[in-house]
Protein backbone atom coordinates (compact mmCIF):
# COMPACT_ATOMS: atom_id res chain seq x y z
CA UNK A 1 0.00 0.00 0.00
CA UNK A 2 2.63 2.66 0.86
CA UNK A 3 4.04 2.30 -2.63
CA UNK A 4 0.67 3.14 -4.10
CA UNK A 5 0.32 6.28 -2.05
CA UNK A 6 3.76 7.54 -2.98
CA UNK A 7 2.89 7.14 -6.63
CA UNK A 8 -0.28 9.13 -6.04
CA UNK A 9 1.64 12.00 -4.45
CA UNK A 10 4.22 11.88 -7.21
CA UNK A 11 1.42 12.16 -9.71
CA UNK A 12 -0.08 15.12 -7.86
CA UNK A 13 3.12 17.13 -7.60
CA UNK A 14 3.28 17.06 -11.38
CA UNK A 15 -0.38 17.86 -11.79
CA UNK A 16 -0.83 20.66 -9.28
CA UNK A 17 0.47 24.06 -10.33
CA UNK A 18 2.16 26.58 -8.10
CA UNK A 19 -0.85 28.88 -8.56
CA UNK A 20 -3.18 26.19 -7.16
CA UNK A 21 -1.47 26.05 -3.78
CA UNK A 22 0.30 29.40 -3.29
CA UNK A 23 -0.82 31.93 -0.71
CA UNK A 24 -2.28 34.99 -2.41
CA UNK A 25 -2.19 37.41 0.50
CA UNK A 26 1.44 38.39 0.77
CA UNK A 27 2.85 40.44 3.65
CA UNK A 28 5.60 42.68 2.30
CA UNK A 29 8.09 45.26 3.58
CA UNK A 30 9.98 48.09 1.83
CA UNK A 31 13.77 48.50 1.60
CA UNK A 32 13.59 51.47 3.96
CA UNK A 33 11.75 49.61 6.74
CA UNK A 34 14.11 49.60 9.78
CA UNK A 35 15.51 46.16 10.61
CA UNK A 36 14.43 46.67 14.23
CA UNK A 37 10.77 46.54 13.09
CA UNK A 38 11.21 43.25 11.28
CA UNK A 39 10.78 41.10 14.36
CA UNK A 40 7.35 42.57 15.12
CA UNK A 41 6.19 42.16 11.52
CA UNK A 42 7.29 38.53 11.34
CA UNK A 43 5.85 37.68 14.76
CA UNK A 44 2.48 39.41 14.22
CA UNK A 45 1.97 37.62 10.91
CA UNK A 46 3.46 34.33 12.08
CA UNK A 47 5.88 34.20 9.17
CA UNK A 48 9.63 33.72 9.02
CA UNK A 49 10.47 35.84 6.02
CA UNK A 50 8.95 38.30 3.58
CA UNK A 51 9.56 39.85 0.14
CA UNK A 52 10.90 43.38 -0.05
CA UNK A 53 8.97 45.57 -2.48
CA UNK A 54 9.87 48.99 -3.85
CA UNK A 55 7.52 50.87 -6.22
CA UNK A 56 5.64 47.68 -6.89
CA UNK A 57 8.78 45.74 -7.83
CA UNK A 58 10.40 42.89 -5.97
CA UNK A 59 13.90 44.04 -4.94
CA UNK A 60 14.82 41.40 -2.37
CA UNK A 61 13.75 39.02 0.32
CA UNK A 62 14.45 39.16 4.05
CA UNK A 63 14.07 36.36 6.56
CA UNK A 64 14.48 35.61 10.24
CA UNK A 65 18.01 34.39 9.51
CA UNK A 66 19.04 37.82 8.23
CA UNK A 67 17.54 39.30 11.38
CA UNK A 68 19.50 36.92 13.59
CA UNK A 69 22.71 37.80 11.70
CA UNK A 70 22.01 41.48 12.32
CA UNK A 71 21.42 40.80 16.03
CA UNK A 72 24.52 38.61 16.37
CA UNK A 73 26.79 41.20 14.80
CA UNK A 74 25.41 43.83 17.14
CA UNK A 75 25.08 46.21 14.18
CA UNK A 76 23.33 49.55 14.61
CA UNK A 77 19.74 49.91 13.44
CA UNK A 78 19.52 50.45 9.70
CA UNK A 79 17.26 49.79 6.71
CA UNK A 80 16.26 46.30 5.61
CA UNK A 81 17.96 47.07 2.27
CA UNK A 82 21.35 46.53 3.93
CA UNK A 83 20.57 43.00 5.08
CA UNK A 84 18.19 41.55 2.52
CA UNK A 85 19.08 39.00 -0.15
CA UNK A 86 18.92 40.71 -3.52
CA UNK A 87 19.21 37.76 -5.82
CA UNK A 88 15.75 36.28 -5.33
CA UNK A 89 14.73 32.91 -6.71
CA UNK A 90 11.14 33.15 -7.97
CA UNK A 91 8.44 30.95 -9.45
CA UNK A 92 5.83 31.33 -12.15
CA UNK A 93 2.26 30.47 -11.22
CA UNK A 94 1.93 27.92 -14.03
CA UNK A 95 4.98 25.86 -13.02
CA UNK A 96 4.21 22.38 -11.73
CA UNK A 97 4.52 22.02 -7.99
CA UNK A 98 7.40 19.57 -8.41
CA UNK A 99 9.62 22.34 -9.79
CA UNK A 100 8.80 24.56 -6.84
CA UNK A 101 9.60 21.79 -4.38
CA UNK A 102 12.91 21.17 -6.15
CA UNK A 103 13.80 24.86 -6.01
CA UNK A 104 12.90 25.08 -2.31
CA UNK A 105 15.17 22.09 -1.70
CA UNK A 106 18.03 23.11 -3.94
CA UNK A 107 18.36 26.71 -2.71
CA UNK A 108 17.34 25.98 0.86
CA UNK A 109 14.93 28.90 0.99
CA UNK A 110 11.78 28.82 3.08
CA UNK A 111 9.63 30.75 0.63
CA UNK A 112 9.58 31.72 -3.03
CA UNK A 113 7.64 34.68 -4.49
CA UNK A 114 5.28 33.70 -7.32
CA UNK A 115 4.94 35.75 -10.51
CA UNK A 116 2.32 35.78 -13.26
CA UNK A 117 4.05 34.90 -16.50
CA UNK A 118 2.03 37.34 -18.61
CA UNK A 119 1.91 40.45 -16.41
CA UNK A 120 5.26 39.84 -14.68
CA UNK A 121 3.61 40.91 -11.42
CA UNK A 122 4.05 39.22 -8.06
CA UNK A 123 0.76 37.49 -7.26
CA UNK A 124 1.58 35.22 -4.33
CA UNK A 125 4.12 33.36 -2.27
CA UNK A 126 4.82 29.67 -1.83
CA UNK A 127 6.24 27.97 1.27
CA UNK A 128 6.85 24.30 1.96
CA UNK A 129 3.84 24.45 4.27
CA UNK A 130 1.60 25.71 1.45
CA UNK A 131 2.77 22.85 -0.78
CA UNK A 132 1.94 20.26 1.87
CA UNK A 133 -1.48 21.74 2.63
CA UNK A 134 -2.25 21.91 -1.11
CA UNK A 135 -1.28 18.28 -1.59
CA UNK A 136 -3.30 17.12 1.41
CA UNK A 137 -6.40 18.94 0.24
CA UNK A 138 -6.09 17.40 -3.19
CA UNK A 139 -5.55 13.95 -1.75
CA UNK A 140 -8.63 14.34 0.42
CA UNK A 141 -10.87 15.26 -2.52
CA UNK A 142 -9.49 12.39 -4.59
CA UNK A 143 -9.85 10.05 -1.67
CA UNK A 144 -13.51 10.88 -1.21
CA UNK A 145 -14.14 10.29 -4.89
CA UNK A 146 -12.29 6.99 -4.83
CA UNK A 147 -14.15 5.86 -1.73
CA UNK A 148 -17.33 5.65 -3.73
CA UNK A 149 -15.87 3.12 -6.11
CA UNK A 150 -14.44 0.89 -3.46
CA UNK A 151 -17.60 0.27 -1.44
CA UNK A 152 -18.15 -3.44 -1.32
CA UNK A 153 -21.92 -3.61 -1.30
CA UNK A 154 -22.06 -4.40 -4.99
CA UNK A 155 -22.78 -8.07 -4.67
CA UNK A 156 -25.26 -7.85 -1.87
CA UNK A 157 -28.09 -9.42 -3.86
CA UNK A 158 -25.90 -12.30 -4.99
CA UNK A 159 -24.61 -12.85 -1.47
CA UNK A 160 -27.99 -13.04 0.19
CA UNK A 161 -29.61 -16.47 0.17
CA UNK A 162 -33.35 -16.06 -0.31
CA UNK A 163 -35.98 -16.56 -2.98
CA UNK A 164 -36.65 -12.85 -2.97
CA UNK A 165 -34.88 -10.00 -1.18
CA UNK A 166 -35.20 -6.25 -1.15
CA UNK A 167 -33.59 -3.23 0.39
CA UNK A 168 -35.74 -0.40 1.65
CA UNK A 169 -34.52 3.20 1.90
CA UNK A 170 -36.71 5.91 3.37
CA UNK A 171 -36.27 9.64 3.03
CA UNK A 172 -38.21 12.30 4.91
CA UNK A 173 -38.88 15.43 2.92
CA UNK A 174 -39.55 18.62 4.81
CA UNK A 175 -42.03 21.14 3.51
CA UNK A 176 -41.66 24.88 3.09
CA UNK A 177 -39.04 27.11 1.63
CA UNK A 178 -35.79 25.67 2.97
CA UNK A 179 -34.48 24.78 -0.47
CA UNK A 180 -30.92 24.36 0.74
CA UNK A 181 -31.47 20.79 1.85
CA UNK A 182 -33.87 19.97 -0.92
CA UNK A 183 -32.57 17.36 -3.31
CA UNK A 184 -30.75 15.53 -0.54
CA UNK A 185 -33.05 12.50 -0.88
CA UNK A 186 -32.42 12.20 -4.60
CA UNK A 187 -28.71 12.65 -4.07
CA UNK A 188 -28.67 10.05 -1.27
CA UNK A 189 -30.63 7.57 -3.36
CA UNK A 190 -28.31 8.02 -6.32
CA UNK A 191 -25.20 7.51 -4.20
CA UNK A 192 -26.70 4.39 -2.63
CA UNK A 193 -27.74 2.91 -5.98
CA UNK A 194 -24.27 3.51 -7.39
CA UNK A 195 -22.78 1.78 -4.36
CA UNK A 196 -25.02 -1.17 -5.04
CA UNK A 197 -23.41 -1.32 -8.45
CA UNK A 198 -26.55 -0.37 -10.37
CA UNK A 199 -25.61 1.06 -13.73
CA UNK A 200 -25.19 4.84 -13.72
CA UNK A 201 -27.86 5.43 -16.36
CA UNK A 202 -30.49 3.60 -14.29
CA UNK A 203 -29.33 5.31 -11.10
CA UNK A 204 -29.61 8.66 -12.87
CA UNK A 205 -33.18 7.99 -13.96
CA UNK A 206 -34.19 7.01 -10.44
CA UNK A 207 -32.48 10.10 -9.07
CA UNK A 208 -34.15 12.51 -11.50
CA UNK A 209 -37.62 11.11 -10.82
CA UNK A 210 -36.98 11.25 -7.08
CA UNK A 211 -35.71 14.79 -7.30
CA UNK A 212 -38.77 16.03 -9.18
CA UNK A 213 -41.08 14.30 -6.72
CA UNK A 214 -39.08 15.60 -3.80
CA UNK A 215 -39.46 19.19 -5.00
CA UNK A 216 -43.20 18.72 -5.51
CA UNK A 217 -43.55 17.34 -1.97
CA UNK A 218 -41.72 20.35 -0.66
CA UNK A 219 -43.45 23.05 -2.68
CA UNK A 220 -46.99 21.72 -2.91
CA UNK A 221 -47.59 19.26 -0.08
CA UNK A 222 -45.67 20.64 2.91
CA UNK A 223 -43.38 17.64 2.89
CA UNK A 224 -43.85 13.90 2.73
CA UNK A 225 -42.13 10.56 2.62
CA UNK A 226 -40.10 8.88 -0.12
CA UNK A 227 -39.65 5.13 0.06
CA UNK A 228 -37.38 3.29 -2.34
CA UNK A 229 -37.52 -0.48 -2.55
CA UNK A 230 -34.60 -2.00 -4.37
CA UNK A 231 -34.84 -5.51 -5.68
CA UNK A 232 -32.42 -7.39 -7.85
CA UNK A 233 -34.23 -6.48 -11.06
CA UNK A 234 -36.25 -3.39 -10.29
CA UNK A 235 -36.45 -0.23 -8.24
CA UNK A 236 -39.78 0.88 -6.81
CA UNK A 237 -40.09 4.42 -5.55
CA UNK A 238 -43.15 5.62 -3.68
CA UNK A 239 -43.79 9.23 -2.69
CA UNK A 240 -46.64 9.98 -0.32
CA UNK A 241 -47.94 13.12 1.31
CA UNK A 242 -51.03 14.27 3.15
CA UNK A 243 -51.07 17.65 1.44
CA UNK A 244 -53.93 19.34 -0.44
CA UNK A 245 -54.05 16.76 -3.24
CA UNK A 246 -54.36 17.41 -6.97
CA UNK A 247 -57.74 18.40 -8.39
CA UNK A 248 -57.15 17.30 -11.94
CA UNK A 249 -54.42 14.71 -12.37
CA UNK A 250 -54.54 14.73 -16.18
CA UNK A 251 -54.05 18.46 -16.20
CA UNK A 252 -51.17 18.24 -13.68
CA UNK A 253 -49.46 15.67 -15.91
CA UNK A 254 -49.63 17.93 -18.96
CA UNK A 255 -46.21 19.37 -19.84
CA UNK A 256 -46.20 23.07 -18.97
CA UNK A 257 -49.01 23.00 -16.43
CA UNK A 258 -47.96 24.50 -13.14
CA UNK A 259 -49.50 26.21 -10.14
CA UNK A 260 -46.11 27.16 -8.71
CA UNK A 261 -46.15 30.53 -6.92
CA UNK A 262 -43.70 33.29 -7.84
CA UNK A 263 -41.12 32.49 -5.16
CA UNK A 264 -40.87 28.93 -6.49
CA UNK A 265 -40.48 30.23 -10.05
CA UNK A 266 -37.71 32.57 -8.98
CA UNK A 267 -35.71 29.51 -7.88
CA UNK A 268 -35.90 28.09 -11.39
CA UNK A 269 -38.87 25.76 -10.83
CA UNK A 270 -42.42 25.89 -12.11
CA UNK A 271 -41.82 24.92 -15.73
CA UNK A 272 -44.62 22.40 -15.28
CA UNK A 273 -42.30 19.66 -16.50
CA UNK A 274 -41.72 17.74 -13.28
CA UNK A 275 -44.37 15.03 -13.53
CA UNK A 276 -43.65 14.66 -17.24
CA UNK A 277 -39.96 14.16 -16.46
CA UNK A 278 -40.88 11.53 -13.89
CA UNK A 279 -42.95 9.70 -16.46
CA UNK A 280 -40.15 9.66 -19.01
CA UNK A 281 -37.69 8.37 -16.44
CA UNK A 282 -39.93 5.58 -15.18
CA UNK A 283 -40.95 2.30 -16.74
CA UNK A 284 -44.25 2.46 -14.90
CA UNK A 285 -45.90 5.32 -13.14
CA UNK A 286 -49.04 5.65 -11.10
CA UNK A 287 -50.36 8.88 -9.61
CA UNK A 288 -53.29 8.82 -7.18
CA UNK A 289 -54.58 11.91 -5.50
CA UNK A 290 -57.58 12.89 -3.43
CA UNK A 291 -58.27 16.53 -2.75
CA UNK A 292 -57.97 17.25 0.97
CA UNK A 293 -56.40 13.86 1.69
CA UNK A 294 -53.12 13.70 -0.15
CA UNK A 295 -51.17 12.36 -3.08
CA UNK A 296 -49.40 9.09 -3.78
CA UNK A 297 -46.99 8.64 -6.65
CA UNK A 298 -45.46 5.29 -7.43
CA UNK A 299 -42.91 4.49 -10.07
CA UNK A 300 -41.00 1.45 -11.13
CA UNK A 301 -37.65 1.49 -12.85
CA UNK A 302 -36.39 -1.78 -14.24
CA UNK A 303 -32.82 -2.80 -13.64
CA UNK A 304 -31.54 -4.44 -16.79
CA UNK A 305 -32.25 -3.98 -20.46
CA UNK A 306 -36.00 -4.47 -20.87
CA UNK A 307 -36.96 -0.82 -20.68
CA UNK A 308 -38.16 -0.04 -24.21
CA UNK A 309 -40.77 -2.77 -24.33
CA UNK A 310 -42.28 -2.28 -20.92
CA UNK A 311 -42.40 1.50 -21.21
CA UNK A 312 -45.41 1.48 -23.51
CA UNK A 313 -47.52 0.28 -20.66
CA UNK A 314 -46.85 3.34 -18.55
CA UNK A 315 -50.14 4.21 -16.96
CA UNK A 316 -51.48 7.18 -15.16
CA UNK A 317 -54.64 6.83 -13.15
CA UNK A 318 -56.49 9.34 -11.08
CA UNK B 1 -13.27 19.42 -26.64
CA UNK B 2 -11.49 19.86 -23.34
CA UNK B 3 -12.89 21.91 -20.49
CA UNK B 4 -9.98 24.29 -20.76
CA UNK B 5 -10.88 24.96 -24.41
CA UNK B 6 -14.40 25.77 -23.28
CA UNK B 7 -12.93 28.28 -20.82
CA UNK B 8 -10.95 29.94 -23.57
CA UNK B 9 -13.89 30.16 -25.97
CA UNK B 10 -16.21 31.57 -23.31
CA UNK B 11 -13.54 33.79 -21.73
CA UNK B 12 -14.59 32.04 -18.56
CA UNK B 13 -12.92 31.92 -15.18
CA UNK B 14 -13.10 29.05 -12.80
CA UNK B 15 -15.00 29.78 -9.60
CA UNK B 16 -13.22 27.32 -7.35
CA UNK B 17 -9.63 26.51 -7.95
CA UNK B 18 -8.64 23.32 -6.21
CA UNK B 19 -9.02 21.00 -9.18
CA UNK B 20 -8.10 23.38 -11.97
CA UNK B 21 -5.16 21.48 -13.38
CA UNK B 22 -6.93 18.17 -13.65
CA UNK B 23 -10.45 19.30 -14.52
CA UNK B 24 -9.12 21.38 -17.41
CA UNK B 25 -8.34 18.18 -19.27
CA UNK B 26 -11.81 16.70 -18.77
CA UNK B 27 -13.59 15.98 -22.01
CA UNK B 28 -16.82 17.82 -22.84
CA UNK B 29 -18.82 16.13 -25.59
CA UNK B 30 -21.99 18.23 -25.65
CA UNK B 31 -23.72 21.20 -24.14
CA UNK B 32 -27.11 22.04 -22.65
CA UNK B 33 -28.45 25.45 -21.68
CA UNK B 34 -31.43 26.46 -19.57
CA UNK B 35 -32.61 28.54 -16.65
CA UNK B 36 -35.32 26.08 -15.64
CA UNK B 37 -34.47 23.15 -13.38
CA UNK B 38 -37.04 20.80 -14.85
CA UNK B 39 -35.78 21.55 -18.35
CA UNK B 40 -32.27 20.76 -17.19
CA UNK B 41 -33.55 17.52 -15.70
CA UNK B 42 -35.04 16.49 -19.02
CA UNK B 43 -31.58 16.55 -20.59
CA UNK B 44 -29.71 13.31 -20.93
CA UNK B 45 -26.22 12.15 -21.26
CA UNK B 46 -23.21 12.60 -19.03
CA UNK B 47 -20.12 14.46 -20.28
CA UNK B 48 -22.25 17.51 -21.00
CA UNK B 49 -21.54 21.10 -20.04
CA UNK B 50 -24.41 23.01 -18.46
CA UNK B 51 -24.84 26.71 -19.27
CA UNK B 52 -27.23 28.50 -16.96
CA UNK B 53 -28.15 31.78 -15.34
CA UNK B 54 -29.37 30.06 -12.18
CA UNK B 55 -26.90 30.35 -9.34
CA UNK B 56 -28.57 28.48 -6.46
CA UNK B 57 -27.85 25.16 -4.78
CA UNK B 58 -30.50 23.38 -6.82
CA UNK B 59 -28.70 23.82 -10.10
CA UNK B 60 -25.68 22.08 -8.55
CA UNK B 61 -27.97 19.25 -7.39
CA UNK B 62 -29.33 18.90 -10.90
CA UNK B 63 -25.81 18.74 -12.31
CA UNK B 64 -24.85 16.17 -9.71
CA UNK B 65 -27.83 13.94 -10.50
CA UNK B 66 -27.19 14.12 -14.24
CA UNK B 67 -23.40 13.80 -14.05
CA UNK B 68 -22.66 17.01 -15.91
CA UNK B 69 -18.93 17.60 -16.47
CA UNK B 70 -19.13 21.21 -15.35
CA UNK B 71 -21.45 24.19 -14.97
CA UNK B 72 -20.82 27.57 -16.55
CA UNK B 73 -22.75 30.56 -15.22
CA UNK B 74 -23.54 33.19 -17.84
CA UNK B 75 -23.71 37.00 -17.88
CA UNK B 76 -21.15 37.47 -15.16
CA UNK B 77 -23.21 35.87 -12.43
CA UNK B 78 -21.43 34.36 -9.46
CA UNK B 79 -22.96 31.32 -7.76
CA UNK B 80 -24.23 31.56 -4.19
CA UNK B 81 -21.78 30.44 -1.48
CA UNK B 82 -23.83 27.33 -0.55
CA UNK B 83 -23.83 26.39 -4.23
CA UNK B 84 -20.04 26.66 -4.41
CA UNK B 85 -19.73 24.57 -1.28
CA UNK B 86 -21.91 21.78 -2.65
CA UNK B 87 -20.04 21.86 -5.96
CA UNK B 88 -16.73 21.50 -4.13
CA UNK B 89 -18.14 18.60 -2.12
CA UNK B 90 -19.30 16.86 -5.27
CA UNK B 91 -16.23 17.79 -7.29
CA UNK B 92 -18.16 19.65 -9.99
CA UNK B 93 -16.06 22.39 -11.62
CA UNK B 94 -17.79 25.78 -11.83
CA UNK B 95 -17.02 28.42 -14.46
CA UNK B 96 -18.28 31.96 -14.87
CA UNK B 97 -18.41 33.82 -18.18
CA UNK B 98 -19.23 37.48 -18.75
CA UNK B 99 -21.01 36.49 -22.00
CA UNK B 100 -24.79 36.43 -22.32
CA UNK B 101 -26.49 33.06 -22.80
CA UNK B 102 -27.05 33.46 -26.56
CA UNK B 103 -23.49 34.51 -27.26
CA UNK B 104 -22.08 31.72 -25.06
CA UNK B 105 -24.18 29.06 -26.81
CA UNK B 106 -23.34 30.48 -30.22
CA UNK B 107 -19.61 30.44 -29.66
CA UNK B 108 -19.58 26.85 -28.41
CA UNK B 109 -21.81 25.66 -31.25
CA UNK B 110 -19.64 27.43 -33.80
CA UNK B 111 -16.59 25.79 -32.25
CA UNK B 112 -18.15 22.41 -32.95
CA UNK B 113 -19.66 21.47 -29.59
CA UNK B 114 -23.01 19.79 -30.36
CA UNK B 115 -26.26 19.98 -28.42
CA UNK B 116 -26.71 17.13 -25.99
CA UNK B 117 -29.30 14.53 -26.82
CA UNK B 118 -32.44 14.17 -24.79
CA UNK B 119 -32.17 10.42 -25.08
CA UNK B 120 -30.92 8.02 -22.54
CA UNK B 121 -31.87 4.62 -23.77
CA UNK B 122 -35.32 5.80 -24.72
CA UNK B 123 -36.84 8.76 -26.58
CA UNK B 124 -38.72 11.39 -24.62
CA UNK B 125 -42.43 10.93 -25.21
N1 LIG C 1 -47.59 16.28 -4.21
C2 LIG C 1 -48.39 17.21 -4.76
N3 LIG C 1 -49.41 17.73 -4.03
C4 LIG C 1 -50.20 18.67 -4.59
N5 LIG C 1 -50.04 19.16 -5.82
C6 LIG C 1 -49.07 18.69 -6.59
C7 LIG C 1 -48.17 17.69 -6.12
N8 LIG C 1 -47.31 17.39 -7.10
C9 LIG C 1 -47.64 18.17 -8.15
N10 LIG C 1 -48.70 18.95 -7.86
C11 LIG C 1 -49.36 19.87 -8.80
O12 LIG C 1 -49.06 19.48 -10.13
C13 LIG C 1 -48.50 20.56 -10.85
C14 LIG C 1 -47.52 20.05 -11.88
O15 LIG C 1 -46.40 19.48 -11.23
P16 LIG C 1 -45.04 19.38 -12.01
O17 LIG C 1 -44.02 18.81 -11.12
O18 LIG C 1 -45.27 18.70 -13.31
O19 LIG C 1 -44.69 20.90 -12.34
P20 LIG C 1 -44.19 22.04 -11.36
O21 LIG C 1 -43.70 21.45 -10.09
O22 LIG C 1 -45.25 23.08 -11.25
O23 LIG C 1 -42.98 22.64 -12.16
P24 LIG C 1 -41.53 21.92 -12.36
O25 LIG C 1 -41.63 20.55 -11.80
O26 LIG C 1 -41.30 21.95 -13.82
O27 LIG C 1 -40.56 22.76 -11.63
C28 LIG C 1 -47.91 21.45 -9.79
O29 LIG C 1 -47.80 22.80 -10.22
C30 LIG C 1 -48.92 21.30 -8.66
O31 LIG C 1 -50.05 22.11 -8.88
MG1 LIG D 1 -42.43 19.86 -9.98
Q: Which of residues 25-64 of B touch A (CB under 8 A)?
A: 35-39, 41-42, 46, 54, 56-59, 61-62, 64
Q: What is the pLDDT of residues A161-212, one digit of tens each?
A: 888 889 999 999 998 877 778 899 999 999 999 888 888 889 999 999 999 9
Tens of pLDDT, residues B18-56: 455 567 778 899 999 999 998 898 887 678 999 999 999
Q: Residue B33 is part of a domain; what is its CATH number?
A: 3.40.1390.20
Q: Check residue A157 and give left, alpha or beta (phi > 0: left; psi -120 to 50: alpha).
A: alpha
- Decide if B17 touches A, using CB distance below 8 A: yes
Across B90-100, average pLDDT? 93
Q: What is the CATH number of domain A154-317?
A: 3.30.565.10
User: What is chain A's mean pLDDT, rounded?
Assistant: 86
**How does DSSP assign chain B, residue by residue?**
-BHHHHHHHHT-EES--TTHHHHTT-B--EEEE-S-HHHHTT---SSEEEEES--SHHHHHHHHHHT-SEEEE-TT----HHHHHHHHHHT--EEE-SS-HHHHHHHHHHTTPPBPPS-SSS---
Name the residue ranges covered by the structural domains of chain A: 15-131, 154-317
Which of the listed residues A272, A277, A288 should we mutate to test ligand 1's pocket, taking the one with most ligand atoms within 8 A of CB? A272
More confident of the two residues A157 and A32: A32
Q: Using CA positions, which residue lies closest to atom 9 of ligand 1? A: A216
Total domains, chain B: 1
Q: Is A15-131 CATH 3.10.580.10?
A: yes
Q: Phi/psi at A59 (nearest 5 deg)?
A: -115, -10
pLDDT digits (tens, 9 = 90+) for A215-257: 999 999 999 999 999 998 899 999 999 999 999 999 999 999 9
Q: For B81-90, how does the pLDDT look when each residue is reduced to its tens digit (9 = 90+)?
A: 999 999 988 8
Are A15-131 and A154-317 equal in CATH topology? no
Task: Report in angstroms the alpha-carbon separations of B92 from A144, A176, A215, A281, B17.
Answer: 13, 27, 22, 23, 11
Task: Give the model's confidence band at A96: pLDDT under 50 very low, under 70 low, under 90 confident, else very high.
Answer: confident
| pTM for the whole structure | 0.63
In a domain, B8, yes or no: yes
If interface means Cβ-Cβ distance under 8 Å, which residues of chain A face chain B? 15-17, 19-20, 137-138, 141, 144-145, 179-180, 182-183, 186-187, 190, 200-201, 204-205, 207-208, 211-212, 215, 267-274, 276-277, 279-280, 307-308, 311
Does residue B49 lie in a domain region? yes
Q: What is this model's ipTM?
A: 0.76
Question: Cβ–Cβ of B57/A15 closer than 8 Å?
Answer: no
The residue range of the domain holding B77 is 3-110
Is B122 contained in some domain? no
Look at residue B121 and tell me if it is in a domain: no
Residue B77 lies in a domain: yes
Which of A171, A185, A199, A208 should we substitute to test contact with B (largest number of B Cβ atoms within 10 Å)? A208
Residue B117 lies in a domain: no
Q: Which residue has the higher pLDDT, A311 or A278?
A: A278
Asked if the Cβ–Cβ distance from B37 to A271 is below 8 Å, we say yes
Q: Do A274 and B38 touch (CB under 8 A)?
A: yes
Amino acid sequence: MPELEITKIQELVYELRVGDVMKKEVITVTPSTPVSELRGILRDNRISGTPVIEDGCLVGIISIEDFIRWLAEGSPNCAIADWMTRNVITLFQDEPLIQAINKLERFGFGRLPVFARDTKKMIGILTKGDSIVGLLKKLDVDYRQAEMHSVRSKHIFEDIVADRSSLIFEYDVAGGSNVERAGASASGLKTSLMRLGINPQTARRAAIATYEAEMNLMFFANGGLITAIIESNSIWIEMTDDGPGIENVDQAMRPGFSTAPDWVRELGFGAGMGLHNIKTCADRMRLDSTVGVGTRLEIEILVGGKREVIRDHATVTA
Amino acid sequence: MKLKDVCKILEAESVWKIDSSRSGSREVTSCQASDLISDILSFRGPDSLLLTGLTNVQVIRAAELLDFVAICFVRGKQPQPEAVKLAEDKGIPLLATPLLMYEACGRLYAAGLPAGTRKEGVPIA
